[in-house]
A and B are shown apart, each in its own frame.
Chain A
Amino acid sequence: MNRRGFRFDLGWRALVLAVVGFILIQVLMWLRVINPYWQQIGCLAGITAISALGLNLVYGYTGQFSLGHAAFYGIGAYGAALLTRTLGGNIWTMMLGILVGAVLAGLVAFAIGLPILRLRSDYLAIATLGFGIIMKVLFDNSDAVFPMMGGAAGMTGIARLTNFTWVFVVALGAVMVLRNLVFSSVGRALISVREDELAAEAVGINTTKYKTLGFVVGCMYAGVAGALYAHLYAYLNPANFDFLKSIDVLLVVVIGGLGSISGTLVAAIGWTFLLEGLRVALPASVQDWRMVIYPLVMVIFMLVRPGGIFAGTEFSFLKPREYRRKR
């Protein structure tokens, strides 16, 4: 039996795991086993995971290849930062900022998605890539319209509001929404579009609607992640939202496995800590090699294990009961 509509739950096993994990990390932080530096890296891992979950929805589940994910990340970041700088930074404006980041990214995704989602595979890739570069140019020149955004010099004076609790709660919510979305009739429609657009249309699925839906929701995830990112480092620079950033997120999705929430989570956390770990472990003279290792990993993964670590499977605690294998 499969699920029909969209429900909002997470299953008690996943919830218990999340709560226990959260308490454990809080205790370790309180005992100073995890110092502020690694806390920040943990936050970054969570933010990367949220953004990558969005791209996984766009590409992994719906099959729409996007190379412009960082642009939506940037839209969310700048939108939220403008809001908290104008209204002052506190918990409420932060919540509002996350909401604004999501809505802005979603609106732009809707406006750009309607025309360009007609394109297929590599044409879509190149159109989204173009959109990403255009957005970067706009961020670079943003100070002409909003002097607060600082243009190419970067935006400063953002309140430092993001902490581990924020990231954890938002990420948990993101996992919950995505998990319920993909294990529902909507999710099956999205996957059918990925598998064969023509066949999906032939069985009566409104492919335009579902492609747009997947794209808009995925980009809203990027907007939320951007909003958290803006308040983590309290500084935004257009260079953080360029083409390479889009590839970064894509890499996480591909390594984790297309169409796998578990894979994206594991890859986002593993990858962020691996890069930072190498920064700490490697001597200064070979630091640059990190940037060489990283595309190599990407190529080797594509050649050896194109499905990624999880290859479309999930941890069983993330699956709704109906989807678990019967003994």
Chain B
Amino acid sequence: MTYFLQQLINGLQLGFVYALIALGYTMVYGIVRLINFAHGDVFMIGAYLGFFAMANWHLPFPVAIVVAMVGCAALGIFIERIAYKPLRNAPRISALITAMGVSLFIENFTNLNFMFGPAPRAYPRPFAIRTFDLGGVSISNIQIIVFTVSILLMVALSLFVSRTKIGRAMRAVSLDKDTARLMGVNVDTMISVTFGIGSALAGAGGVLYGIAYPQIQPLMGIMPGLKAFVAAVLGGIGIIPGAMLGAVIMGVVETFTSAYVSSTLRDAVAFGILILVLLVRPTGLLGKSLSEKV
């Protein structure tokens, strides 16, 4: 039982990091119907920005998170402007292929020696690890930080989307672009804002991932990115609470697979879930099913 609870906590830690990435996927998909494959690489850049902020510029941990978030937001908006915006009226598959191209470009470019280089780097620990014992189950201060930061960010995002004027405009654009435009919403700005916010969350996720699993390298974004996308689909793509729910489920399932079955099979289980969900309930756990328009 303690082992189970321990794995549950580890799984939640992974799930919360996935949630921060999945939110960006789901928001972008909700607004432009594009699987932004480059999102996992934005997450990687976030981890590196946090690394440089702490290791090279000696900034404190909270500032490092802010640096990563701002840097990633700028990167996300930049990617949208140069690669996706010209394709907004092209077939969706063209945009999807472009997204994969952007993703590969970021991975291979940062893999070059004058950039980050292919060698993995040890992530700086901003503070000493302390573990607290809760009746046999241990929880570390790092896990507490991961939980707190991600919950804070998710609450902030929910409030932003539901309570502010920009949030309302974002929701309007994701429902119907043309109508939103007629109501005076600047659609391009809203799309940029969405990319910015999604990427900022991924940036924060990158730093949290870095301190939780302290090794980073330029290809680290591929798998978490794909799994976060699976999580977004699992919860119902385009639905913000769905992404959080799906991500937590993914993290927990993955950790349990590693703990009880085999760690080499955990990717197969994650994607097996994806295919099952797509077949049984393509709109995800929280999604509403839409009939096809003719």
A residues adjacent to B (C-beta < 8 A): 65, 115-116, 118-119, 121-123, 125-127, 129-131, 133-134, 137-138, 140-141, 198, 243-244, 247, 250, 254, 288-289, 291-292, 294-296, 298-299, 302-303, 306
A295 lies within 8 A of B265 (CB): no
Q: Bound state CA distance, A247 and B222, in angstroms?
A: 14
Q: Which residues of B contact A291 (CB under 8 A)?
A: 104, 108, 111
A126 lies within 8 A of B35 (CB): yes
A116, A129, A254: the one contacting B97 at CB < 8 Å is: A254
A65, A116, A138: the one contacting B93 at CB < 8 Å is: A65
The reply on B132 being an interface residue by CB < 8 A is no
Q: How far is the CB of B147 from chain A (nearest CB, A)?
A: 28
- Most chain A C-beta atoms within 10 Å of own C-beta, residue among B103, B105, B265, B267: B105
Q: How far is the CB of A207 from chain B (nearest CB, A)?
A: 13
Q: How far is the CB of B50 from chain A (nearest CB, A)?
A: 24
Q: How far is the CB of B166 from chain A (nearest CB, A)?
A: 27
Interface flags for B109-145 (1: CB within 8 Å of A; 0: not) read: 1011100000000000000000000000000000000
Interface flags for B148-176 (1: CB within 8 Å of A; 0: not) read: 00000000000000000000000000000
Q: How far is the CB of A294 from chain B (nearest CB, A)?
A: 7
Q: Which residues of B contact A296 (CB under 8 A)?
A: 101, 105
B265 lies within 8 A of A121 (CB): no
Known A121-B92, A141-B265; contact A295-B101, beta-carbon cutoff 8 A: yes
Q: How far is the CB of B191 from chain A (nearest CB, A)?
A: 17
Q: A138's closest neighbor in chain B, by CB? A: B268
Q: Bound state CA distance, A115 and B109, in angstroms?
A: 38
Query: 27 pairs across A/B with beta carbons < 8 Å?
Result: A65-B93, A116-B275, A122-B96, A123-B282, A125-B96, A126-B229, A126-B274, A127-B275, A130-B271, A130-B274, A133-B268, A137-B267, A138-B268, A140-B264, A244-B104, A247-B100, A288-B111, A288-B113, A291-B104, A295-B102, A298-B98, A299-B83, A299-B98, A299-B101, A302-B87, A302-B95, A303-B86
Known A115-B279, A116-B279, A299-B98; contact A134-B272, beta-carbon cutoff 8 A: yes
B112 lies within 8 A of A289 (CB): yes
Q: How far is the CB of B284 from chain A (nearest CB, A)?
A: 11
Interface flags for B255-294 (1: CB within 8 Å of A; 0: not) read: 0000000101101100110110011001000000000101
Q: Which residues of A contact B111 (CB under 8 A)?
A: 288, 291
Q: Bound state CA distance, A211 and B95, in angstroms?
A: 23
The reply on B233 being an interface residue by CB < 8 A is yes
The reply on B90 being an interface residue by CB < 8 A is yes
B residues adjacent to A (C-beta < 8 A): 33, 35, 83, 86-87, 90-98, 100-105, 108-109, 111-113, 222, 226, 229-230, 233, 262, 264-265, 267-268, 271-272, 274-275, 278-279, 282, 292, 294
Q: A246's closest neighbor in chain B, by CB? A: B100
Q: Bound state CA distance, A244 and B275, in angstroms?
A: 20
Q: How far is the CB of A75 from chain B (nearest CB, A)?
A: 15
B271 lies within 8 A of A303 (CB): no
Q: Which residues of B contact A247 (CB under 8 A)?
A: 100, 104
Q: Which residues of B contact A299 (CB under 8 A)?
A: 83, 98, 101-102, 105
Q: How far is the CB of A83 from chain B (nearest CB, A)?
A: 25
Q: Which residues of A contact B264 (CB under 8 A)?
A: 137, 140-141
Q: Bound state CA distance, A115 and B111, in angstroms?
A: 38
Q: Which residues of A contact B102 (CB under 8 A)?
A: 295, 299
Q: Bound state CA distance, A116 and B277, in angstroms?
A: 11
A119, A137, A198, A298: the one contacting B278 at CB < 8 Å is: A119
Q: Bound state CA distance, A295 and B272, in angstroms?
A: 28
Q: Bound state CA distance, A65 and B92, in angstroms?
A: 11
Q: Bound state CA distance, A289 and B110, in angstroms?
A: 11
Q: Bound state CA distance, A123 and B96, in angstroms?
A: 11
A140, A198, A289: the one contacting B294 at CB < 8 Å is: A198
For the complex of A and B, the 10 pairs showing the least CB-CB separation, nearest first, are A130-B271, A295-B104, A298-B101, A299-B101, A291-B108, A137-B268, A295-B105, A295-B101, A302-B98, A130-B274
B35 lies within 8 A of A125 (CB): yes
Q: How far is the CB of A14 from chain B (nearest CB, A)?
A: 30
A295 lies within 8 A of B108 (CB): yes
Q: Which residues of A contact B271 (CB under 8 A)?
A: 129-131, 133-134
